[in-house]
Chains A and B, each alone.
Chain A
């Protein structure tokens, strides 16, 4: 259920502006990889190229290769919709569908794609909510609107929604930046459980979080404002936080940046 990602020579643009340049990395299955780096360095842009969400932005385009188990996501005849079913995503701000109940939110991916059996839907929703550690909190009010939950619950609802379609990879774009420490802890615990089943890539501004949840950490940086962001290094999280091989990484992590 979990696939490896190989990125090589990836460059992404917004119109004529080059946002990230020549990024190559390997992401192993059943691992958590964290992206850290200053604002505007292209972490989120890079993340969005991994499930072809980048091109949803007007003017967004990508050069280079992203291999998902040897299949190039940017190859000819690849359907971006099919890619996004394989590579799910959780966003910075919790965004449950406001017209749908909690149940419908989790079932949304299956229902809207039309490929499900009615009898299985309830089981899948329960399994996904349990997978997101939300089942006990919402099992008595599944038909209430999802927007009535707290921020942390909403974010876990969004995670449940993302894993309900059984993707191979889960991308998380600063999933905890809008949450309080307790909700953050709940999500971090969840990430630890989810990595048994999925390949997880997480963008975070919180370095302790990267150290806590990830197996590998990638540091992105940009030379100056307006310059494209680049991958400085990627290594085991322990090494990045104890003995990084590039001086810039050490400066950033120890707060001596700028």
Chain B
């Protein structure tokens, strides 16, 4: 056979830059169609561009490379479109919060409370809300995290039979509890004892919301610990409880920390139970066990709802939102740090 014969292994292929060209082309086309068609919404432009990108990829690839390669490229382009659609809201949320939040976010905002500042006035800050959030979330974590982790240890290491099944079932049910119901549950107890709103009541409701999340994530992490490690420890004559404490938990500590942090992030943003149980307080109250407190989500809600459109209050609400996001973000970074520091070590 001569070398000129067509090889079945070789085929035409699009140049490396073609995907970028198709992206550029479809964006330009999308914008053009939007302008010519008089479409106001930029979202529509984006969707048209995305559609053109997927279609264009298929048509061009099908003509040059063949149908199988075209399908491959369409799958790739769909993944990219999905990625962009997922990232756009995230980025825009952070962008809007940061750009509107930095206006009044300064040391003064972080260190003063609303006290005697009227809602429509400028000045004031979120200090009372920050203290409230830290104390309520901190206490909720102190209650919720240990109970959740111990429950997971029971389920994975000891749980057999009906009790374990029942616990698993109720943990699943608890995961779905709306936060307002957890708040009402604590409120009903408070009403029996004729108590006034106070911070710790909010912590209890938040702990209820936190527990199932901690149980679920810790359970998954404990299941990942190889059984061989447990057996190795038991075979050394180490009692089971010490095996769990010194071998199983340290091996999975990274994942458990991450799970607890995610649960904290979840409850840090809860408004409903705090509204019911902690009530809100423009003055600084450092004692979570007596008297109404504030909290960041509640502060955001009240600034927005009670201000009757005053710009100063809106600015404070955005600044508090940014504070809350930063709070959760810092927690996450700390958790990742701990996870990396404690995780099973590799390398020589």
Query: Which A residues lie at the B interface, using CB under 8 A?
Result: 51, 53, 56, 58, 81-86, 88-89, 91, 93, 95, 97-99, 108-109, 112-113, 141, 144-145, 147-149, 158, 161-162, 165
Query: 1/0 per residue B322-348: CB within 8 Å of A?
Result: 000000000000000000001011111
For residue B228, which residue of chain A has the nearest CB?
A95
A51 CB contacts on chain B under 8 angstroms: 235
For residue B239, which residue of chain A has the nearest CB?
A81
Counting from the closest, the 5 A-B pairs by CB-CB distance are A85-B237, A98-B344, A109-B236, A89-B235, A145-B345
Q: With the chains together, A60 CA to B23 CA distance in Å?
A: 62
B103: Cβ under 8 A from any A Cβ: no
In the complex the two chains form, is B251's CB within 8 Å of A99's CB? yes
Q: With the chains together, A56 CA to B157 CA distance in Å?
A: 11
A-B contact list, 22 entries, CB within 8 Å: A56-B231, A81-B239, A83-B237, A84-B235, A86-B237, A88-B235, A88-B236, A89-B231, A91-B228, A95-B229, A95-B232, A97-B232, A98-B344, A98-B345, A99-B247, A99-B250, A108-B236, A112-B242, A112-B243, A144-B348, A148-B347, A165-B236
B238 CB contacts on chain A under 8 angstroms: 81, 108-109, 112-113
Known A-B contacts A85-B237, A95-B226; A112 and B246 likewise in contact (beta carbons under 8 Å): yes
Known A-B contacts A91-B231, A112-B246; A84 and B236 likewise in contact (beta carbons under 8 Å): yes
Q: With the chains together, A112 CA to B237 CA distance in Å?
A: 9
* CB-contact partner of A98 in B246, B251, B348, under 8 A: B251
B189: Cβ under 8 A from any A Cβ: no
B221 to chain A, nearest CB (A): 14
In the complex the two chains form, is A161's CB within 8 Å of B251's CB? no
Interface residues of B in 174-230 (CB under 8 A from A): 226, 228-230
Number of A-B contacts (CB under 8 A): 90
A97 CB contacts on chain B under 8 angstroms: 229, 232-233, 247, 251
Known A-B contacts A97-B229, A99-B251; A58 and B160 likewise in contact (beta carbons under 8 Å): yes
Query: Which B residues lie at the A interface, using CB under 8 A?
Result: 160, 226, 228-239, 242-243, 246-247, 250-251, 253, 342, 344-348
Q: With the chains together, A51 CA to B232 CA distance in Å?
A: 12
Known A-B contacts A93-B228, A99-B250, A99-B251; A113 and B345 likewise in contact (beta carbons under 8 Å): no
In the complex the two chains form, is B237's CB within 8 Å of A165's CB? yes
Q: With the chains together, A148 CA to B253 CA distance in Å?
A: 20
B226 CB contacts on chain A under 8 angstroms: 95
B228 to chain A, nearest CB (A): 4
Known A-B contacts A97-B229, A97-B247, A99-B251; A53 and B345 likewise in contact (beta carbons under 8 Å): no
**For the complex, would chain B's binding face be called helix, strand, loop or mixed by DSSP majority?**
helix
In the complex the two chains form, is B231's CB within 8 Å of A53's CB? yes
Q: With the chains together, A116 CA to B123 CA distance in Å?
A: 64
In the complex the two chains form, is A84's CB within 8 Å of B228's CB? no
Q: With the chains together, A86 CA to B251 CA distance in Å?
A: 26
A99 CB contacts on chain B under 8 angstroms: 247, 250-251, 253, 342, 344-345
Q: With the chains together, A141 CA to B233 CA distance in Å?
A: 23
In the complex the two chains form, is A162's CB within 8 Å of B346's CB? no
B235 to chain A, nearest CB (A): 4
Q: With the chains together, A51 CA to B236 CA distance in Å?
A: 10
A108 CB contacts on chain B under 8 angstroms: 233, 236, 238
A89 CB contacts on chain B under 8 angstroms: 231, 235
In the complex the two chains form, is B234's CB within 8 Å of A84's CB? yes
Q: With the chains together, A89 CA to B251 CA distance in Å?
A: 21
Q: With the chains together, A112 CA to B324 CA distance in Å?
A: 42
In the complex the two chains form, is B229's CB within 8 Å of A113's CB? no
For residue B240, which residue of chain A has the nearest CB?
A81
Give the residue among B228, B231, B236, B239 with the most A Cβ atoms within 10 A. Answer: B236
For residue B233, which residue of chain A has the nearest CB?
A112
* CB-contact partner of B345 in A81, A141, A147, under 8 A: A147
In the complex the two chains form, is B242's CB within 8 Å of A53's CB? no
In the complex the two chains form, is B348's CB within 8 Å of A112's CB? no
B223 to chain A, nearest CB (A): 14
A88 CB contacts on chain B under 8 angstroms: 235-237
Known A-B contacts A84-B237, A85-B237, A112-B246; A148 and B231 likewise in contact (beta carbons under 8 Å): no
Q: With the chains together, A84 CA to B246 CA distance in Å?
A: 18
In the complex the two chains form, is B348's CB within 8 Å of A148's CB? yes
In the complex the two chains form, is A113's CB within 8 Å of B237's CB? yes
A151 to chain B, nearest CB (A): 14
Q: With the chains together, A88 CA to B346 CA distance in Å?
A: 27
* CB-contact partner of A81 in B160, B237, B251, under 8 A: B237
Query: Told that A98-B345, A99-B253, A147-B345 touch, could you supply 8 new A-B pairs with CB distance under 8 A?
Result: A51-B235, A53-B235, A84-B235, A89-B231, A95-B232, A112-B236, A112-B243, A162-B235
Q: With the chains together, A97 CA to B237 CA distance in Å?
A: 15
For residue A149, which residue of chain B has the nearest CB?
B348
A15 to chain B, nearest CB (A): 12
In the complex the two chains form, is A145's CB within 8 Å of B346's CB? yes
For residue B225, which residue of chain A has the nearest CB?
A98
Q: With the chains together, A108 CA to B236 CA distance in Å?
A: 8
Q: With the chains together, A93 CA to B229 CA distance in Å?
A: 10
B295 to chain A, nearest CB (A): 37
Q: With the chains together, A235 CA to B35 CA distance in Å?
A: 93
Q: With the chains together, A100 CA to B225 CA distance in Å?
A: 15
A53 CB contacts on chain B under 8 angstroms: 231, 234-235
Q: With the chains together, A95 CA to B209 CA distance in Å?
A: 38
